Amino acid sequence: MAHDHQHDHQHKREHTHPHSHTDIDWGEMAGHLESQAELFAPLYENVLGWLGKEVTEPGLIVDLGSGPGVVSCLFAEAFPDARVLAVDGSEPLLDRARARAERQGVGDRFGVLAGELPGVLDQLDNPADLLWAGHSLHHLGDQRAALTAFAERLAPGGTLAILEGGLPSRFLPRDIGIGRPGLQARLDAMLEEWFERMRTELPDSVTEAEDWPALLAAAGLKYTRSRSFLIDLPAPASERARTYAVEIFSRLRDTVGEGLDAEDRAILDLLLDPADPASLHRRSDLFVLGARTVHTAVRPT
C-alpha cells in the first residue's frame, strides 16, 4: 500500500534500535515535523472541519504521537472549549508542543504526557472524546493491539481518528528534462521497501494488513468512515514549499540514495545542489501535491 513516508522515516531513533538504519531520532526531526505540519496546515484545517461535523463539543482531545504539537494546537484552535493533551515518546518534542501552545495562547487548556504508546495511556485520568493519531500508529509494533488500547480510552460516543496512508507526495513532473523520466516513482518504490524494513525492525513488530476500517471495527468501534484530503501547492513554489521539498529529497538521499543506479543518484545530487540552475532550489516546475487519508470510528454508547 502506498504511503507518504518521505516525511518521517529517514533518521535514527535513540532508544530502541540504536544500530539499525531504520531507527528514527525523533528529537532531531523536530524542525522537519514542524515545517511539514505548518506547510500542510490547509489540509489539516479541512480535516478538522470534517471532524468538527462528527464530533460536537469534545471536552478532551488527545493527540497520540503528537510530535512538536503543530496539529495539537490546530485542534486547540478549532475546538475552543476543549482541553488538548499531546502524548509522545519524545520529551524534547513535547517541550516544543507546550511552548507552541503557550505562544498561541492556548496553554491554559493544553497538557503533555511523555511515554511510550500505547502503555502510557494507563496514565490518562479521563476518557477522551476525540483521539487523534496522525502518522503515528505505523510507528508502533503491534498496530492492532494499539488500536484496541486507544479505543479503550474513548468515552462512550467518542471518536478515534487515525491519519494513515494516502498517496506519496509529488514535487516534480514525470519528465524533468534531465535524466530518465520517472525518478520520483522509482524513489517511492524504494521507500516502500524501506518502510517495510522499518516496520519489521520495530519492537514487538506484528505484520498486519492495512485494512484500517477493519482494524477499527476489530477494536470494538463502529461507524467507520474514511476520507482523503489534498494538499495542492502548484508551481511556482513558495520559498516554504521549496525548503520542504529540499528537506524531503535530502532525506531520500540519506535513506535510499545509495540504492539508486548511478544516473538517478547523479540527478538526485544535482537536484540538491543549490548552485545548479536545475536544482530544487531554483527550478520553476516544483510543486507540492499530496493526499492523506483519515479513518474514523466511534465507541458505541
Ligand X SMILES: C[S@@+](CC[C@H](N)C(=O)[O-])C[C@H]1O[C@@H](n2cnc3c(N)ncnc32)[C@H](O)[C@@H]1O
Q: Where are the beta strands (DSSP E) in 66-109?
A: 83-88
Best CA proximity match to 278, nearest among 268, 264, 288? 268
Pull the grid cell for residue 153. 480510552
Q: Is 116 in the site for ligand X (CB under 6 A)?
A: yes
* 90/65 Cα distance (integer angstroms): 9
Q: Is 246 in the site for ligand X (CB under 6 A)?
A: no
Position 165 contacts ligand X (CB under 6 A):
no
| C-alpha to C-alpha distance for 146 and 140, rounded to whole angstroms | 7
Q: Is 93 in the site for ligand X (CB under 6 A)?
A: yes
The answer to whether the beta carbons of residues 270 and 278 sit under 8 Å apart is: yes
Q: How far apart are CA 129 and CA 58, in angstroms?
A: 5
Among 5, 26, 215, 255, binds ligand X (CB under 6 A): 26
Closer CB to ligand X, 113 or 176, in the complex: 113
Which amino acid is it at 60? L
Q: Per rule CB under 6 A, is residue 279 in the interface with ligand X? A: no
98 binds ligand X (CB under 6 A): no
Does the footprint of ligand X cover residue 47 (CB under 6 A)?
A: no
Residue 3 lies near ligand X (rule: CB under 6 A): no
Residue among 3, 100, 139, 242 that touches ligand X (CB under 6 A): 139
Neighbours of 291 (CB within 10 A): 18
Quickly tell me which residue has 524531503 as its cell.
Answer: 248
**Segment near ligand X (CB under 6 A), from 83-91, 123-131, 172-180, 212-220?**
83-91
Among residues 117, 128, 131, 246, which is the contact residue for ligand X, using CB under 6 A? 117
- Which residues contact ligand X (rule: CB under 6 A)? 8, 26, 33, 37, 65-67, 70-71, 88-90, 93, 116-117, 134-136, 139-140
